[in-house]
Structure 1
């Protein structure tokens, strides 16, 4: 049987190559921190030894964790390479292979379930924990964002390498379960342990946003910006949060400048970056800011990068951009793909994506009463779409503005009161309070 080495967290790898182990540990640490380019660290090792099972699984996991359907083909190639060396794989690797195999074949839910079972047996497997955490986010499993990490937390000590990353994930899970005080405390502790942990930074930013602490949120993001603004996979998303807070503070010029400099898609942008761009431009549109030229540039990227039917969350943001840019043919084609996914997969994400997409299209067509009618039932049932409360708040914002433009004062008041009770802060439509007060 192949000699087993162990990674920095004590998990078994079926390799005797210590240089491969070192590359694995380095790449995993970068992936856990959303830093630099872990793929570039690992790729030369896999070229030299394509039978390095844990390396192939790490590469597959990093690609799958992007939730970008255009990268799934490469992920499947890594899964296949790992499967080709199955005879030397250990139990941990076989377990991960089953999960990643399901995921690369389009079954993210089954993969998430398999990772959950894997983590019960391997609570210190930081690759599996991060991917299960990301899966919980994009599958809309808000409670599991907290509870899955809690299952593993007791198996970690404060002096363990990687402990800060576990705390950062726990902080975000606590925030998504509305435990704001605990979330902020845990998130700040994670940043003390590992200042470059952009996920923990992001968790604290979410707390500030959800509690309406705009100035605190801006200060927090700016004070930590040197740790995540460059060479970081969270740079776009954390700048997105900063722009939302600038909009909420009334500084539209700063928010628009930030879009142009840090959110608008760079050549290497993946689908999640395009989602942030779509969501931010939509909030500008709700506020009456002319962003038509920016929509056209973003829609051009979506036409190249949309992978219809892989992620309901991504597909709604793609339709949003295409429709806002005036590309009716592409927008209709995207909605047809969403409808087909809803037919094939039934309830959950696609059942939310379909009326959400139609509602956004109705808003752009000036059919405001119809938009509000479509979005209203989703406001309490949007979690299967995936993403965070702050991201899905876009539906609430749109429904309020649509009702306002339709002249439905009672609906504006009801939805505004509901949203205020949740203490959500985003780019609230400027005219909503005017209509409520009138």
Structure 2
């Protein structure tokens, strides 16, 4: 079908560095998915897009200060850059924790842009104009951007000018006027001149000790004059800290109750660092976790407190936050050991006199002097955009007919916006002008690195297309109308319409968010929703679902009946389908209920409640016992969710089940950076830690999450079970006992959780050391006879067999076996029966009889016995039987063949 070019919006992007290019990438990708035509114009004086100041260096020795795992351009694919590097050069190892060159990253961004445009085909056009924008004016509903040559008309403008140029106000006039002063080391050829110079003194004075200095030092000492020494002067004398030798998990604090007055904030930050260092031995996880919450904290601070932070704390924050790779640190240490790098603190440049042979004699404020060939400014970008002399920014801040198009945020560090859209001097955000990245520093603080910019770029692309070319909408009466039509109904968190009042929708969405986060209390909020609107069928059905699928405190039958009544009063096709699904699930969960749920998700893939019930997780049993089908279900939802943190969390768990542990960890980290309370992401990361043998780090990290951002998490018993597995692996049985008594002993847990977590832990504990174990009887009472003797699914039945074994209940195992024999499900009368027979032999200490059955059974449990960590209880039991029967060699072989998860 031909694209109607007359209806295509034009978006003009000022700046073609990484920020502007990533906006273009995401516009192209999103427009292609929506089949929306769009024309993009990028004003960028450079001949190549995707470089800018930060990535324009031609030197491969200038490295990224973030590992490759953190540099993907696509938030929904955290491993994309790592995979690109592997494909780009198959003979070169490409590891997530590599620190690659900035030049290579720039090439990656350009190739991704070309690929995205090619995929979009004729629906997206890109025009790169090598001119500098000088002026922006509103023009009707759009805007006009002028260069020295012409004016360009656009429906929307994105200002993506990047970090401001370096400032050199500190330099005395005698230095500024010298030809041997380099005010901007990133100006084309600036460092080449110094490298070629052979006339003046060899030493170079570098002012500033941050990451720019690191690059300059590597450039000026990497070749040529071996006698060149660098004198680095800064107020603090602190070099950037280094990254750890191996990746560390961020420890994210819960800041919901932090007072953001500067004095109290300093105390809370200090306490956070102290706790993390005490538990993990490293400050980096504390800093990286705090970074996740910085924008939240910054948004709650007053301007006065922000300015106080900038004066007194920002320097030290930057030293810790902007770390250098170990390779760069090692090189600097080598230079210092050779006497070629000298660090000076306190003094500043007071004056400079030319030397007869070239170079300068520089006098410092402490009276010392240095004879140097050059002075290089590495003090970093100016902080106040009003002092840059940038014609475009000056124009935005200049009143036209009494109103300036933009206003500055804290300290002049950027522009005030509403989610990136500029606020004019009259307080209005209506002009079609947006920004991202460095120009939002005043309102976000942390906004200049790729991890922040890529998210802003995708959100901005979505906002632009939603504003200029919105998708069609469905009204309450079912009509499909233009995307510009007013929205007739409230929406849920994924944008689906809700047939209820705004007040009821707010309570429903709060409950839905708790379900998505795996937090407790969702059913209470859903009750609030139906109290506000008794005819809200979807909320009634959601209550029935939580009661039936997740064991929440709800009257399933009564809620279902109310949902069936209310849907006759009000509701659209999706809501009617959902009510029907829940009715089928309640009456026939394994057959027609599962089929109806899958069909509903196929029609409404963004129905997060339905997807929650379909995917096997801590909370829900899912619609299939086959891992591959569950994986296919999750992976097939990618187009519907993109980089939404909830979907990324579910995908992370799927990836760890597929033993793709590095990818799973990247996905979990990405999700937690967006939503630190995501229980699904924490669950995925917890499995990664266990399966890769990171027991001490995994226990410490999980404990911190549960006590901080996970304080309101549901299913805390399951997270306690995970921590106890780490402690069993470490041989810390005292810690296992404390955790069991605190979190896993009845009455703290009952029902399914007592079965899956508490009982299985007791049996695993017994396999390690059977002395002075807590009694299993109270756990079996808390589980209940129904789950133990007449379970309805093979998964529950297998763990019922483990629980009965922990209590040495041979009679119970026999009764469970008879129940399984009578089931119509093949897995019940084959695998569950075999498990009962093997475990009966274990209780009766008939090791030789138990081992062959378990050896045959264990490989067949992949599709019905839960995660690898859960299934491991059967493997441990097999190894125990072999050892008890004297087959130590065979037991050792089985351990050696098992993935290296833990020392045994």
Normalising by the residue count of structure 1, what TM-score does the alignment of the two structures yield? 0.85
Deviations 1:340-372 (A, max 9, x none): 22xx22x23563222123322221111112221
The answer on 1:130 being equivalent to 2:612 is yes
Shift of 1:413: 4.0
**Measured at CA, do residues 257 and 382 of structure 1 come closer, stay the same or move farther in structure 2, by a change above 3 Å?**
same
Assess, with a 3 A threshold, how the Cα gap between structure 1 residues 335 and 231 changes in structure 2: closer, same or farther: farther
Q: Do the aligned residues in 1 keep the contact of 2:516 with 2:646 (CA within 8 Å)?
A: yes
Cα distance, 1:374–1:76 mapped onto 2, change above 3 Å = farther
Give the match for residue 17 of structure 2: none
Name the counterpart of 1:10: 495
Q: Cα deviations across residues 33-80 of structure 1 (Å, max 9, x unaligned)?
A: 1213111222244356554210022112222332x5xx7994344333
Match of residue 142, structure 1, among 627, 633, 654: 627
Instruction: Measure, in 1, the Cα distance between the counterparts of 2:865 and 2:624.
Output: 5
Distance 2:813 2:531 in 1: 40
Asked if 1:240 is matched to 2:721, the reply is yes
The 2-side partners of 1:144 and 1:228 are apart by: 32
What residue in structure 1 maps to residue 506 of structure 2? Answer: 22
Tell me, in whole angstroms, the C-alpha distance in 1 between the residues paired with 2:563 and 2:593: 16
Query: Which residue of the other structure, out of 570, 575, 581, is the alignment partner of 1:99?
Result: 581
Asked whether the equivalents of residues 24 and 42 of structure 1 are also in contact (C-alpha less than 8 Å), the reply is yes
Match of 1:303 among 777, 784, 799: 784
Query: In 2, Cα distance between the equivalents of 1:321 and 1:229?
Result: 28
Among candidates 337, 344, 350, match of residue 819 of structure 2: 337
Q: 1:54 and 2:505 equivalent?
A: no
In structure 2, the partner of 1:198 is 679
Is structure 2 residue 670 aligned with structure 1 residue 185? Answer: no
The whole-number CA distance in structure 1 between the counterparts of 2:786 and 2:707 is: 30
71-80 or 403-412: bigger deviation: 71-80
Superposition misfits of 4+ residues, deviation over 6 angstroms: none
- Look up the SS of the partner of 1:294 in the other structure: coil
- Out of 149, 153, 156, the residue aligned to residue 641 of structure 2 is 156
CA RMSD of aligned residues (A): 2.7
The structure-2 alpha-carbon separation of the partners of 1:305 and 1:254, relative to structure 1 and needing over 3 Å to count, comes to: farther
TM-score with structure 2 length normalisation?
0.43
Aligned counterparts, 1:11-410, within 5 A:
11-15=496-500, 17-46=501-530, 49-66=533-550, 74-87=555-568, 88-108=570-590, 110-134=592-616, 139-158=624-643, 163-227=644-708, 230-267=711-748, 269-290=750-771, 292-303=773-784, 306=787, 308-341=790-823, 344-345=824-825, 347-348=826-827, 351-409=830-888
1:299 is paired with a residue whose SS is: helix
Instruction: Between 112-121 and 208-217, report the one with greater CA deviation.
Output: 112-121
Moved more, 2-11 or 398-407: 2-11
* 1:434 alignment counterpart: none
C-alpha displacement of 1:26: 0.7
Partners of 1:76 and 1:101 within 8 A in 2: no
Contact 1:142–1:177, Cα closer than 8 Å, also in 2: no
Q: Which whole-Å CA distance do the structure 2 matches of 1:59 and 1:280 have between them?
A: 31
Deviations 1:80-102 (A, max 9, x none): 33223443432212322333233
Larger-Rg structure: 2
CA displacement at 1:138 relative to structure 2: 7.6
Distance 1:415 1:110, change over 3 A: farther
After superposition, what is the alpha-carbon deviation per residue over 1:378-432, rounded to whole angstroms, capped at 9, x for unaligned? 221102324111101111111111122122345424432332xx3344xx7x6xx
Of structures 1 and 2, the one scoring higher in RCO (CA 8 A, sep 6+) is: 1
Q: Indicate the residue corresponding to 1:435 in structure 2.
A: none
Change over 3 Å in CA distance of 1:350–1:6 after alignment to 2? farther
Structure 2 vs 1, CA of residues 222 and 291 (structure 1 numbering), >3 Å: closer, same or farther? same
Question: Is the alpha carbon distance of 1:185 and 1:110 closer, same or farther for their aligned partners in structure 2, counting shifts above 3 Å?
Answer: farther
Residue in 2 that maps onto 1:423:
900
Q: Secondary structure at the match of 2:560?
A: helix
Please list the CA deviations of residues 245-301 of structure 1 after superposition, one character each: whole Å capped at 9, or x if unmatched: 111111111112111111223356341343100111010111123355431211221
Shift of 1:182: 0.6
2:700 and 2:770 map into 1 onto residues whose CA distance is 25
Shift of 1:115: 2.7
Question: Quick one: distance in 2 between partners of 1:291 and 1:331?
Answer: 24
Aligned length: 414
1:137·1:387 contact (CA, 8 Å) conserved in 2?
Answer: no
| Residues 211-232 of structure 1: per-residue CA shift (max 9 Å, x gap) | 2222332232133232465432
Q: Closer, same or farther in 2 for the Cα pair 1:250/1:147, shift >3 Å? A: same
* Distance in 2 between residues matched to 1:101 and 1:186, nearest whole Å: 34
- Please give the per-residue CA displacement for 1:176-205, whole angstroms capped at 9, x wherever unaligned: 011111100000111111111122111011
State which drifts further: 204-213 or 282-291.
282-291
Unaligned runs of 5+ in 1: 431-438
Tell me if structure 1 keeps the 8 A contact 2:777–2:807: yes
The 3 A distance-change label for structure 1 pair 299 and 215 is same
Query: Quick one: structure 1 residues 325 and 198, their matched pair in 2 at CA, closer, same or farther if it must change by over 3 Å?
Result: same
Cα distance between partner residues in 1 of 2:860 and 2:697: 30
Q: Does the Cα contact within 8 Å between 1:214 and 1:248 map onto a contact in 2?
A: yes
Structure 2 residues without counterparts, runs of 5 or longer: 1-475, 478-487
Q: What is the distance in 2 between the residues matched to 1:194 and 1:350?
A: 43
SS of the aligned residue for 1:306 comes to helix
CA distance in 2, matches of 1:244, 1:107: 32
The separation in 2 between residues aligned to 1:199 and 1:247, in whole angstroms, is: 23
Name the residue aligned to 1:433: none
CA distance in 1, matches of 2:622, 2:900: 21
